[in-house]
Amino acid sequence: MANAKMKPKFKAVTPKLKLFRANDPQLSVFMWGINYTITGLEHVKVPVMLMPDDFKAFSKVKVDNHMFNKDIMPSHYKVKEYCPLVFRNLRERFDIDDHDYMNSLTNKQPVEIDSPGRSGARMFMSHDKKYFIKSLVTEEVEQMHHILKQYHQYIVEYIVEVHAHTLLPHYLGMYRITVNDVEHYLIIMRNVFSPRLTIHKKYDLKGSTVDRHASDKEKSKDLPTYKDNDFIRDEAVLFLGKDTKDKLMTTITKDAEFLASLHLMDYSLIVGIHDCDKAEMESAEMVQRAKEGEEDSNEEENGYDDDQNGMGGVPTPPDSPQLIQAPFNGDIDNTIERFAMKCSDDCPRREIYFLAMIDILTKYGVKKRTAQAAKTMKHGANAEISTVKPEQYARRFLDFVSKCIE
């Protein structure tokens, strides 16, 4: 009897789902952590009111990873979320849905961006440009814990109860990520600028003039962050009109007084300027380039090759989402542009301003007192140095901002 020929056996292979894919293990763990913590909060009942212990609470998880996305995720990592119920409450106050928050931070890898400051902090932006992720040092984490209760109370009183506005950062979550036994502290904030409107010029203003100009290295960037002396040199003005200016200065004054009461200083007013006319020109140019690309593509299909004439390859198709932008109709979307303000009719150009206070976690302690003494000796008692007492800092800051606005 002839031997029956054995049929080869095939094992079905299921494609692996690559979750939390990032080129940095820290980011992969961060994305996993956001997904884990937000999903876990779904099963935690929303309390009627926050208790004192909620401002000290935390949740943490340690993972010894052997199977799940092992080619992407580290073998061992930890995720710690600080004050989860408090930050969930803040997200609710700021009209941010937890699922949208999670999807923005986990569907695609956050993109690292240049940080103009001297602190060396790493900065990331969510793929949809809604949120910033900033690294913190331990002193800033301690300071955030120290002010969180007062910050939450301030947000509740001025946003919810009296329907006022604040230019303070919208803090949405704080985490500790441990990868390879190295701890990374991260805080999530709402993006001050618009996810859809281009920023054409940017200033960081403190009200100080000593060493307050953009460096040559900073100026070489695509979007430099200019400073106080640059603003003065440019003879820049924020055209808002009297009524809008009065309302804005009332808001900034309340915010600055709140920070001074917590002995905080060295914060800035970040100013982003969207030039509507320039944006329309840029959009028209992109549309034209897209049309030319479509024509070039059709010529190649008919046997013509632009490379023979040194014209290069085929541009991005005209329906590419990154190429075509909807023309700005002058309306501000308050759901995503919380810090936006239209210029007044007196403005020589059509502009949208984005204004917010940033870097508010510096306390006037021993280090800052020492720095103040050193700078005073170097530059003189009358020099406008940035390191001064919180009350003096607030007064000078408000005076400078008021002069910037017409």
Which of helix, strand or coil describes residue 119? coil
Active site residue 95: no
Check: CB of residue 328 under 8 Å from CB of residue 86: no
Q: Structure tokens of 385? A: 């140095």
- Give the model's confidence band at 23: pLDDT under 50 very low, under 70 low, under 90 confident, else very high: confident
Nearest to 171 by CA among 272, 55, 39: 55
Q: Is 108 exposed, middle or buried (0-12, 13-18, 19+ CB in 10 A)?
A: middle
pLDDT of 172:
98
278 tagged catalytic: no
Does 299 reside within a domain?
Answer: no
Give, in order, the Cα–Cα distances in Å from 99 to each of 107, 152, 192, 266, 338. 11, 22, 21, 34, 20
**Which strands form 225-226's sheet, in the order they lie side by side?**
225-226, 201-205, 268-275, 351-358, 340-342
The residue type at 379 = H
Of the residues 80, 134, 363, 368, only one is catalytic, namely: 134
Asked if residue 85 belongs to a domain, the reply is yes
Q: How many domains does the chain have?
A: 2
**Boundary residue ending a domain (158, 191, 224):** 191
CATH of the domain at 238: 3.30.810.10
Residue 308 lies in a domain: no
Longest dimension (CA), the chain: 109
The rounded mean pLDDT for the chain is 83
- Quote the pLDDT of residue 15: 42
Give the residue numbers spanning the domain of 399. 193-292+316-406
Q: Which of these three, 142, 162, 191, is where a domain ends?
A: 191
Integer Cα distance of 112 and 114 in angstroms: 7
Q: Is residue 6 situated within a structural domain?
A: no
Set 266, 275, 296, 359: catalytic member: 266
- Taking only the tens place, the pLDDT of each residue in 171-216 is 999 999 999 889 999 999 999 999 999 999 999 999 988 888 999 9
Domain boundary among 155, 171, 191: 191
pLDDT at 353 over 90: yes
CATH number of domain containing 59: 3.30.800.10
> Are 211 and 277 found together in one domain?
yes
Confidence of residue 372 (pLDDT cuts 50, 70, 90): very low
